Homo-oligomer: A and B are copies of this chain.
């Protein structure tokens, strides 16, 4: 019994992150009162400032957690594809699906960039783009994707298109139909990357 201390600390960190994640994901970062959501975790702002420095620091922690989860899901999907191109496309569509969740959309694609700036500059949250970049590079070497293309740049552009696709689906009256249209348009764009052998 030499670790209850460390465990308690980890637990309060986790509780704060969970409470903040819920608040940020529902009412949004700006509207989320630190007093309120720390209290909902049975704590006060004192704990928050101690562990994360300030509200932004807590947002970073939340983002890092979500990014990790997204990377796991993307990798799972990627491991189940017959070809590498299919693997790449599946990754992208999975990305769109994930971005459909209000919590992810709000935190990762709206409040996050507004508060912390360009996502490309986030150190702790680049797993998904890194994966896509890797696949693009490999696809280039295999001669499937055109050569004169910077992989990371392309991955970022695709990322931008993905998040737009998700927003469009999420805000649609008829999500099913919109989803079909958005994914179709998205795949069409991706075709532009292929070498027309």
Contacts and interface: CB of A to CB of B under 8 A. Distances in A.
Interface of A: 28-30, 110-111, 113-115, 118, 120-121, 146, 148-150, 153-154, 156-165, 167-168, 170-171, 178, 181-182, 184-186, 188-193, 196
A120 to B, nearest CB: 6
Interface SS, A side: helix
A54 B161 CA distance: 32
A18 B170 CA distance: 34
Given A161-B160, A186-B157, A188-B192, A110 B114 contact: yes
Contacts of A154: 185, 188-189
Contacts of A29: 114
Contacts of A150: 181-182, 184-185
A157 B189 contact: yes
Given A150-B181, A150-B185, A168 B156 contact: yes
9 contacts: A118-B171, A121-B171, A150-B182, A154-B185, A156-B168, A160-B161, A160-B163, A160-B164, A189-B189
A176 to B, nearest CB: 14
A190 B157 CA distance: 11
A185 B113 contact: no
B184 A149 contact: yes
Q: Which 6 A-B pairs have the closest CB atoms?
A: A192-B192, A160-B164, A114-B114, A191-B192, A160-B160, A157-B161
A179 to B, nearest CB: 10
Contact of A192 (B28, B118, B167, B190): B190
